[in-house]
């Protein structure tokens, strides 16, 4: 039988992958942990993963020198766009989670794409762009998780969202966030951080080289 690690790696490429708090990566058909010997007979490859794969350098011929690309960098612009994407992604995470009743794991991957592409508007080639993009993607995921918890409480107790925000025990909320991390939410946070870092840079054909 395949190991848990092998199953997770295999199922990440399937359209039926999903994420449920307390369980982690599950099959959306059964809502349970996937179990199979070597291959799943219901496996269907998610073609969108290839469509949205990070662009290869050869796909974007670049004739500019490193100095010219550095001259075009605009870090404040990239940060501004990425902060907006961070907040939009967090709000979407919260709304979708509360409306569906559970968290869809690959929302985190979507947040990674969203924040990364927003950060790319700064046309950066230095590592700082990827680091900030990754950090904002992580913040967006944590905020989305936070908004979800507040939304669940407001829904369960029939309270206004703002009333919950002003009267909730934030120590308890923090404990719930930690529990979510322990239940493999951190795995999807990792996907978001990784994708945001990779997508935060402008496409280029030339190695960066030199001292940053």
Burial profile 27-66: b = 16 or more Cβ within 10 angstroms, e = fewer: beeeeeebeeeeebeeeeeeeeeeeeeeeeeeeeeeeeee
What percent of the chain shows pLDDT beyond 70?
Answer: 78
d(CA 49, CA 205): 23
35-39, 48-52, 53-57 — most confident range: 35-39
Of all helices (H) and strands (E), which one includes residue 25? strand 24-27
Confidence of residue 56 (pLDDT cuts 50, 70, 90): low
Least confident of 43-47, 61-65, 96-100, 138-142: 61-65
| pLDDT at residue number 8 | 72
Per-residue pLDDT band at 179 (split at 50, 70, 90): confident
Percentage of residues of the chain with pLDDT beyond 90: 30
Q: How many CB atoms lie within 10 A of CB 8?
A: 17
C-alpha–C-alpha distance, residues 30 and 20, integer Å: 12
User: Among residues 88, 112, 118, 89, which one has the least CA distance to residue 188?
Assistant: 112
54 near 199, Cβ under 8 Å? yes
Rounded to two decimals, what is the model's pTM? 0.64
pLDDT at 50 over 70: no
Give the model confidence (pLDDT) of 119-129 as tens digits.
999 999 999 99
- DSSP state string for 27-93: ETTTTB----SSS-TT--B-HHHHHTSPPPGGGS-----HHHHHHH--HHHHHHHHHHHHHHHHHHH
The per-residue pLDDT of the chain, averaged, comes to 80
Give the span between the Cα atoms of 175 and 104, in whole angstroms.
Answer: 21
Residue 208 has pLDDT above 80, yes or no: no
Which residue has better confidence, 71 or 167? 71
Per mean pLDDT, which range of 37-41, 74-78, 102-106, 186-190 is the poorest? 102-106
Greatest C-alpha distance within the chain: 60
The answer to whether residues 103 and 110 touch, using CB atoms and an 8 Å cutoff, is no
Q: H/E element holding 17?
A: strand 17-20
Confidence of residue 65 (pLDDT cuts 50, 70, 90): confident
């Amino acid at each position: 039988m395949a190991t848990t690690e092998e199953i997770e790696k295999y199922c990440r490429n399937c359209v039926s992958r999903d994420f449920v708090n307390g369980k982690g990566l599950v099959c959306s058909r059964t809502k349970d942990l996937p179990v199979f010997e070597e291959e799943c007979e219901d496996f269907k490859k998610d073609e969108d993963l290839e469509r949205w794969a990070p662009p290869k350098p050869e796909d974007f011929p670049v004739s500019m020198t490193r100095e010219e690309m550095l001259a075009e960098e605009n870090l404040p612009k990239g940060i501004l766009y990425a902060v907006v994407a961070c907040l939009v992604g967090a709000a979407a995470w919260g709304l979708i989670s509360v409306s569906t009743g559970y968290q869809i794991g690959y929302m985190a991957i979507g947040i990674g794409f969203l924040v990364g592409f927003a950060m790319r508007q700064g046309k950066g080639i230095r590592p700082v762009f990827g680091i900030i993009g990754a950090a904002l993607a992580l913040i967006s995921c944590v905020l989305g998780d936070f908004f979800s918890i507040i939304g669940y409480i407001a829904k369960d107790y029939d309270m206004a969202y703002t009333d919950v925000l002003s009267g909730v025990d934030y120590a308890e909320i923090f404990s719930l966030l930690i529990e979510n991390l322990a239940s493999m939410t951190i795995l999807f946070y990792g996907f978001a951080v990784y994708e945001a870092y990779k997508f935060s840079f402008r496409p280029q054909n030339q190695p960066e080289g030199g001292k940053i």
